[in-house]
Structure 1
């Protein structure tokens, strides 16, 4: 299989150790999810991970322009690069739930494009103009930061506008196969981020142990409602009805509480074997390999596996074996 295996992690205090394990297993990179209302700080966890590893790529997915000033992200990326030379990547995206959970909207694709352009220029030691003022990074050698810094900058792309921006300014894209089955419209490195679990011999999709370990990621298929892979199913319609019965101002939080990292009581009511089968890449090793082959055919050059549940090391190891590492 020419496709590479990476992982995307729902950032927690345990993430540095999980990244160390991923490196031992042969994962080429580890991305930390960035959503301030849900996860631990990704930059802190990646800095700690840099001390425990020597080869694995380290990245943040995704930086949203509305969250932090571009110079702030440039400084964080430059600092991490000093700790892990040649291993850092940053993905920039428009954001949706991460921005909405902080009371705002996602960024426009035009602002994502400008952010990537300015981020690249600042890391190169160049001057930019922003909001009518000129600025640049001014780190001296005493800071320990050495400019220029040359790191890959990816775009988390969805839809024609997102892929259009990526084609103009990105070194790679990270996306999600649940947004469509058409071939990824990007000429370059493409990471597909997805989730699932490898079944043990004799296990079925609705075994309690399976539901527990894949539940936090499988629940995302419920959270996507009628726009996701479970559209029209009894589980999706039931979950969506319960969400829509809540006051409008409570729906977003109720949908995204525990997003990709833990199960809520509402999630558990609608989590079934059907959700695991139809909403994740799960199955016996041969079934998982077949699913990976299909994603590679759709244009993925890197599969970014998102493990879930209470035993992340088990999930990382089982998926690495199914992948063929």
Structure 2
């Protein structure tokens, strides 16, 4: 099992990547959401220039906000600074698009986006459609120090639906998923990705990477799972599940993703959103306020034990967390990546490194 951290990137706090390397984490992912955080690639450049071991990448980059060649050249530039330890997490843009009132990229367009990305990041020429025309493109100066594609950048695709999973199998080197995956769901997802790979003549390697995004907090002796300290450290990431459920509900009326043990909490949260000051067409701005970075005080009451448990939070004693990790490793996960609140990130992650990773 590898241990990673997803960071809500603030460019003035790039030293957190250096600290993570010193703590012993394997990977650091910079979240990419243009209306919420600093630019992920700018922060990764600073991190790359000041670290030597830790793997660095986007967590995850947003396909609809950048052309595929732009994403390829951005991450290949980071690979020039951190050769062989750079990766690209990529998704359709759930949060980054929702905070502008827009939908994520459609499955067909995302699949072709990945096709172009993979070719460019392997130093190949590829036909690239734009504006109704298609032209062959390639990096013109791959050996002159501008970028590095001599060491291909692994592509980790954020995917849950069947079409995105097939695209991940066809063009990805791994998958990013949420923490609350069951063994059956992971197996079904792997079968779908294998079918996607077979459709383009690929066979997924045995070490196909699966990173699971979540959060953790090591409890102190006698501490409750909903203590103020715990909520301070993991509240923003736990609340992000409510944001996700809300967005799906607004888009389709679907509530099937709402955890069964959170149904009452969901009804309370929905009532809370209906009373927001902003009009319905701007309400997404308030719903995503603080998204994964800090917890607005008015949302604190929604961080319950039911929400934490049903969203896969690794909250418990060191022994309890290690048992949870063993179970996830047995399910086939390659990496657990944690996203704590910004204000308490160093304390939370140092605690986890010292009390869990050191013993794992």
State the TM-score, normalizing by the size of structure 1: 0.90
2:41 match: secondary structure:
helix
Q: Which residue of 2 aligns with 1:170?
A: 172
Consecutive unaligned residues of structure 1, counting only runs of 5 or more, are: none
Q: List per-residue Cα deviations over 1:157-203 (Å, max 9, x = no partner).
A: 11222221111111111111336553423362111111121111221
CA–CA distance in structure 2, aligned partners of residues 289 and 43 of structure 1: 33
Q: CA deviation at 1:149?
A: 4.8
Cα distance in 2 for residues equivalent to 1:147 and 1:160: 30
Q: Does residue 22 of structure 1 match 2:20?
A: yes
Q: Cα gap change, 1:149/1:119 in structure 2, threshold over 3 Å: closer, same or farther? A: farther
Provide the residue aligned with 1:317 in structure 2: 350
Question: Structure 1 residues 240, 149: closer, same or farther in 2, change over 3 A?
Answer: same
Residue aligned with 1:310, SS: helix
What's 2:157 paired with?
155
Q: Residue in 2 aligned with 1:251?
A: 283
2:294 counterpart residue number: 262
Give matches, 1:1-325, under 5 Å.
Answer: 3-13=1-11, 15-131=13-129, 132-139=134-141, 144-178=146-180, 182-184=184-186, 185-186=189-190, 188-225=208-245, 226=255, 227-229=257-259, 232-246=262-276, 247-279=279-311, 280-320=313-353, 321-323=355-357, 324=359
After TM superposition, give the deviation of residue 155 of structure 1 in Å.
0.8
1:142 is displaced (CA, Å) by 5.4
Whether the aligned pair in 2 keeps the contact of 1:93 and 1:157 (CA below 8 Å) is yes
TM norm structure 2: 0.82
Q: CA distance change for structure 1 residues 97 and 180 in 2, over 3 Å: closer, same or farther?
A: farther
User: Which runs of 5 or more structure 2 residues have no equivalent in the other structure?
Assistant: 191-203, 246-254
CA distance in 1, matches of 2:142, 2:310: 53
What per-residue deviation string (whole Å, max 9, x for no partner) do you get for residues 130-159 of structure 1? 232332222376554355451111111112
Aligned to 2:200: none
Whether the 8 Å CA contact 2:176–2:211 is kept in 1: the answer is yes
Q: CA offsets, 1:65-110, max 9 Å, x none?
A: 2111111112111211111111110022122121122232211222
Give the superposed CA RMSD.
2.3
CA distance in 2, matches of 1:142, 1:211: 49
What is the CA–CA distance in structure 2 between the aligned matches of 1:146 and 1:322, rounded to whole Å?
Answer: 35
Q: 1:48 to 1:261 in 2, by over 3 A?
A: same
